[in-house]
Amino acid sequence: MKNHRKIICILVVLGIAVAVPCLIHNKTCILPLAPAKAFAGDKNKNGSDAGEQEKKDKTKKENPCPPCPECPDPAKVVLRGLEEKRNMIEKKSKELALQK
């Protein structure tokens, strides 16, 4: 019984130690699992970042990727695999027949 009280007391103290600084900092967060703050990058003095982005967008529109090949029919793939296994079994059975 005393061990349970010690464990509960330790958990309460740890919970308070984690929650209080978080509440002071965020005033809404219970656990410190808030996402990190991200900042946008600095632009060049002449603003060339926007121009470079427009050039990339134009090249993507001019050179679209080629169409994807059609996926094979699943039934044909299964049948092909079964046929290969059947051929392998026939070949092995012929080898065994020749050994006897």
Residues 23-68: tens digit of each pLDDT: 666 555 555 555 555 566 655 555 555 566 666 666 666 667 778 8
17 within some domain: yes
Round to whole Å and give the CA distance between 81 and 74. 11
Into how many domains does the chain fold?
2
pLDDT at 70 over 90: no
- Radius of gyration of the chain from its Cα atoms, rounded to whole angstroms: 34
50 falls within a domain: no
Q: Does any domain span residue 79?
A: yes
Tell me the pTM: 0.32
Q: Would 56 be classed as within a structural domain?
A: no
Q: Which domain holds residue 87?
A: 72-100
Residue 8 lies inside a defined structural domain of this protein: yes
Backbone angles phi, psi at 28, to 5 degrees: -135, -30
Question: Could you tell me if residue 20 is inside a domain?
Answer: yes
- Please report whether residue 47 resides in a domain: no
Q: Decide: 29 and 22 in contact? Cβ < 8 Å.
A: yes
Asked whether the CA dihedral 38, 43, 47, 50 is positive or negative, the reply is: negative
Structural domain includes residue 77 = yes
